[in-house]
Amino acid sequence: SKSLSYKLMLANSLIHSTDKGIFAMLPIGQRIIDKLIRIIESEFMKIGAQKLEVPILGNKEIWSKSGRWEEMSSEMFKLEDRLKHHFCLQPTAEEMITELVRNFGTLRSTQFPLLIYQSSPKFRDEMNPRFGLLRGKQFLMNDLYSFDVDEKAAKDTYKIVCQTYERIFRHHLKLENLFIVEANPGAMGGSISHEYQLPNSCAEDKVYLCKKCSTAYKFEVGLEAKTDCIACKSSDSLAVVDTIEVGHTFQLGDKYSSVFNATMSDNKTPYYMCCFGIGVTRTVAASIDVLSTSQNAMRLPESISPFKLAVILPNSDSHPNTLFVNSFIHELDQLPTLRNEILVDDRLDKSIGRKLAEMNQLGVPHILVAPGKKYVDFCESPRLEYYRAIPKSDQLLSEGLVS
């Protein structure tokens, strides 16, 4: 069964499936991904995080050092080179990043916190890859790692990055019904961890939501189902919401720094680490699921919509007022907010109605329609009709005329 986001991403040519759980990103999909990465990076710049990239091939030695060559074995894609050296396609990068930081040598205290991140493909041999980009064997993750001199500093850093995560999801993507829940760190290790969950009918995860005080908790499968709220103590106030995890943050402590000898130069104390991951491709799919209501109309957060504006030109039969429309488009393109953001639909083989339906299906938030000559003749000056795609609806709102 396909999720709504998967159907919409296929219908709008955002992605192409080359195998189960493996996808090519097509040009329109790539524009969305690039925009989301730019949003994340603009926020990371504000907190002094530096971008880098580590290899995808991780050798068995570093993964054995942390014990995860065995622990994560069933989800790991493993391979050998011609000399029979063992590698994996990395599912995450704590080992490689910690080893890298150890090799930086002496870090002076002014360099803390050290925040480094990448946006790179991750590989997991998922038991059940499904729902398109929601659960792939290869996916894009933005992963950030922090290094601090003591636990208190690490907790401060954790808080700052978590606030950044909230700004990304709530302020930039306007995904208001994001649940931030305390979670079990699992194989990642460490003590404290939070998950960022969005409502999603595929129900890959679940959270409890208190109807009285709105506190959200992780619903741990196999636990006895709770009924009473821990925060406000109300009884029978918990509802279970189907969700999907879009981000995960961890306070790792010295789990990796101690085994990799990533220590301060003076007293040899291991760094206190945190790590943070946003599923970039999953977030795109999950936000489409949150904002779209039908297979006819994809809806995305406006800040990652592939185009801000579509201008629909009439087909060949209608003799468009070409000069006027072209100079108008040129003028719009000069505006900094619209530069490289306008999709001009000048296909001659499709009617205006058909093109309007397709732009609505793609979910371009603002649409201008240039009428054909027979309409223009009736007007003193040429005018364009303005439509707006409404989130959580498959309708276009007609906003009248612009001249």
Interface with ligand ATP (CB under 6 A): 92, 124, 126, 135-136, 139, 141, 204, 245-248, 277, 279, 281-282
Task: Give the Cα separation of 215 and 230 in Å (integer).
Answer: 9
Residue closer to ligand ATP, measured from CB, 122 or 308: 122
Residue closer to Mg ion, measured from CB, 74 or 110: 74
Q: Indicate which of ligand ATP, Mg ion, none lies near residue 193 (CB less than 5 to 8 Å, by partner kind).
A: none
Residue 38 CB, nearest approach to Mg ion (Å): 24
Q: Indicate which of ligand ATP, Mg ion, none lies near residue 371 (CB less than 5 to 8 Å, by partner kind).
A: none
Ranges of beta strands (E only) in 152-237 are: 179-182, 193-199, 205-210, 216-218
Residue 45 backbone class (left: φ over 0; alpha: ψ -120 to 50; beta: rest): alpha
Q: Are 12 and 141 in contact (CB under 8 A)?
A: no
Task: Give the Cα separation of 47 and 41 in Å (integer).
Answer: 10
DSSP code at position 242: E
Q: Indicate which of Mg ion, ligand ATP, none lies near residue 204 (CB less than 5 to 8 Å, by partner kind).
A: ligand ATP
Q: Indicate which of Mg ion, ligand ATP, none lies near residue 255 (CB less than 5 to 8 Å, by partner kind).
A: none
In sequence order, the 6+-apart residues with CB closer than 8 A to the CB of 343 are 306, 307, 309, 310, 311, 359, 364
Residue 17 CB, nearest approach to ligand ATP (Å): 14
Residue closer to Mg ion, measured from CB, 245 or 385: 245
Q: Beta-carbon neighbour count of residue 344 at 10 Å?
A: 17
Residue closer to ligand ATP, measured from CB, 95 or 385: 95
Question: What's the token pair of residue 231?
Answer: 């925060």
Residue closer to ligand ATP, measured from CB, 141 or 168: 141
Residue 169 CB, nearest approach to ligand ATP (Å): 11
Residue 3 CB, nearest approach to ligand ATP (Å): 12
Q: Beta-carbon neighbour count of residue 116 at 10 Å?
A: 18
Task: Give the Cα separation of 351 and 169 in Å (integer).
Answer: 38
Binding flags for Mg ion, 201-240, as an x/- string (CB under 5 A) = ----------------------------------------
Identity at 110, one-letter amino acid code? T
Residue closer to ligand ATP, measured from CB, 279 or 372: 279
Residue closer to ligand ATP, measured from CB, 136 or 189: 136
Binding test (CB under 5 A) with Mg ion, winner from 68, 122, 135, 248: 248
Residue 157 CB, nearest approach to ligand ATP (Å): 18
Question: What's the token pair of residue 399?
Answer: 């906003």
Residue 114 CB, nearest approach to Mg ion (Å): 23
In sequence order, the 6+-apart residues with CB closer than 8 A to the CB of 173 are 39, 283, 287, 301, 303, 304
Give the chain's largest Cα–Cα span: 83
Among 179, 249, 256, 176, which residue's Cα sits nearest to residue 214? 179
Q: Are 368 and 338 in contact (CB under 8 A)?
A: no
Task: Give the Cα separation of 381 and 182 in Å (integer).
Answer: 60
Instruction: Report the relative pairing of strands 238-253 and 342-345 from DSSP bridges.
Output: unpaired
Residue 141 CB, nearest approach to ligand ATP (Å): 5
Binding flags for Mg ion, 358-377, as an x/- string (CB under 5 A) = --------------------
Task: Give the Cα separation of 341 and 323 in Å (integer).
Answer: 21
Stretch that binds Mg ion, among 18-26, 28-36, 245-253, 257-265 (CB under 5 A): 245-253
Identity at 179, one-letter amino acid code? F
Stretch that binds Mg ion, among 166-174, 216-224, 248-256, 316-324 (CB under 5 A): 248-256
The size of the interface with Mg ion (CB under 5 A), counted in residues, is 2
Task: Give the Cα separation of 335 and 8 in Å (integer).
Answer: 30
Residue closer to Mg ion, measured from CB, 146 or 361: 146
Stretch that binds Mg ion, among 59-67, 109-117, 144-152, 244-252 (CB under 5 A): 244-252
Binding flags for Mg ion, 255-294, as an x/- string (CB under 5 A) = ----------------------------------------
Residue 307 CB, nearest approach to Mg ion (Å): 32
Q: Beta-carbon neighbour count of residue 45 at 10 Å?
A: 11
Residue closer to ligand ATP, measured from CB, 69 or 387: 69
Residues of this chain that interact with Mg ion (CB under 5 A) are: 245, 248
